[in-house]
Amino acid sequence: MASKSMATIGYGVPTNEIDPQRFVVRIPANGRDLVEIIEDFGITGPQYDPQTNMRSDRVVRCRLDQKRWRQISAAVRTAFNERLKGRKMGSGKWTSGDNDVHRLLGRELCVLVWAVESCEASLIPAAIDAWTGLRPEERWWLYSMAVHATGRAEDIDKGWRKAIRIGLTEGAGAVEAGNKRQISFEDL
């Protein structure tokens, strides 16, 4: 029995739910403004924000300059669309303006953006490779570790976000140029 595809908008946000929790990737039309990744709690919000000691419906999780965004956006689009296709959902594409992203995919996106937001530009391909090599559950875990204390856009290069940057850009999975050696289980 073939399963029906679910109607979605953007990257996997269901249309049959009223105001679902999701992420919004706001891509400015001009090339100067920063790309913003916003967690929108939807009808389940507002959520308590321990950093502001207030409740909020939306939290800006990260901001990224457009040059860095262009470096990661194709890899993210490909990874997300493969996953959506596997679940018989429509594919997404990045456009200027607000782009809706399923809440779990948005968490994964934050992990990659946190890794590249302050790293050297030459390390971005290593971060993409390391991020692609992680299972979704591993990305969710990294997000959950970082978001409580350092989950706002202003928290660049602190705590778990710094650890994510180092782990994805300089960690064991990051292979230096010209070094083809990969770590195997025998090395552990």
Greater confidence (53 vs 93) lies with 93
Instruction: Report residue 184's pLDDT band, with 50, 70 and 90 as the boundaries.
Output: very low
Tell me: pLDDT of 182 over 50.
no
Q: How far is CA 50 from the centre of its chain?
A: 22
Average pLDDT over residues 115-126: 96
pLDDT of residue 84: 95
Average pLDDT over residues 42-47: 75
Average pLDDT over residues 129-145: 97
The closest of 180, 147, 181 to 49, measured between CA atoms, is 147
Peptide bond into 46 cis (omega under 30): yes
Tell me: pLDDT of 183 over 50.
no
Q: Which residue has the tokens 């602190």?
A: 158
Average pLDDT over residues 159-178: 79
Greater confidence (26 vs 17) lies with 26
Task: For 67-76, write each residue's pLDDT tens digit.
Answer: 999 999 999 9
Instruction: Report residue 127's pLDDT band, with 50, 70 and 90 as the boundaries.
Output: very high
Task: For 54-66, write each residue's pLDDT tens digit.
Answer: 667 889 999 999 9
Read off the tokens for 11: 């990257």
Q: Could you give the CA distance from residue 58 to residue 9 in angstroms, rounded to a whole number?
A: 19
Q: Which residue has the tokens 């809440």?
A: 103
Beta strands (DSSP E) in the chain are 8-9, 13-14, 22-27, 35-40, 47-49, 54-56, 58-64, 97-102
pLDDT of residue 43: 80
Instruction: Report residue 81's pLDDT band, with 50, 70 and 90 as the boundaries.
Output: very high
Q: Could you give the CA distance from residue 156 to residue 161 in angstroms, rounded to a whole number?
A: 7
